[in-house]
Amino acid sequence: MTQPLTCRAPATGTVQLDDDRVRVTRWDFAPGAETGWHRHGMAYVVVPVTDGTLLLELPGGATATAELKAGIAYARDAGVEHNVVNAGDAPLSFIEVEMKHFPG
């Protein structure tokens, strides 16, 4: 599916750890910055570093918002597709931990 192009500044993703089990990335967003459209190939956990509001652009033109609270984690399954935008007027940061495999 082709997603709309935007003129927003990109968020900055800094990989902090990438081994055979997990990839840990810190995402930093200026106000209005976005990740760009992507589909998560792995289940993941997000740990907000700052409070803030995300605009989630979803396939088909739907949108949602998410209120982040520093230190309050949430998890999502693999397959999530979205564009994540800092909808607030202050910088926003979170840590994303992607799980490469689950012990079986």
Residue located via tokens 């230190």? 71
Q: Which residues of 30-44 are buried (b: 16+ CB within 10 A; e: fewer)?
A: eebbbbebeeeeebb
pTM for this structure?
Answer: 0.89
Assess contact for 57 and 8: CB atoms under 8 A. Answer: no
pLDDT in tens, 17-67: 999 999 999 999 999 999 999 999 999 999 999 999 999 999 999 999 999
Domain 12-99 coded CATH 3.90.1150.10: no
Instruction: List all residues 6 or more positions away from 81 whose beta carbon is below 8 Å from its beta carbon.
Output: 37, 38, 39, 40, 58, 59
pLDDT at 5: 58
**For residue 60, with 0-12 CB atoms within 10 Å meaning exposed, 13-18 middle and 19 or more buried, which class applies?**
exposed
CA distance linking residue 69 with residue 57, whole number of Å: 20
- The domains of the chain are located at 12-99
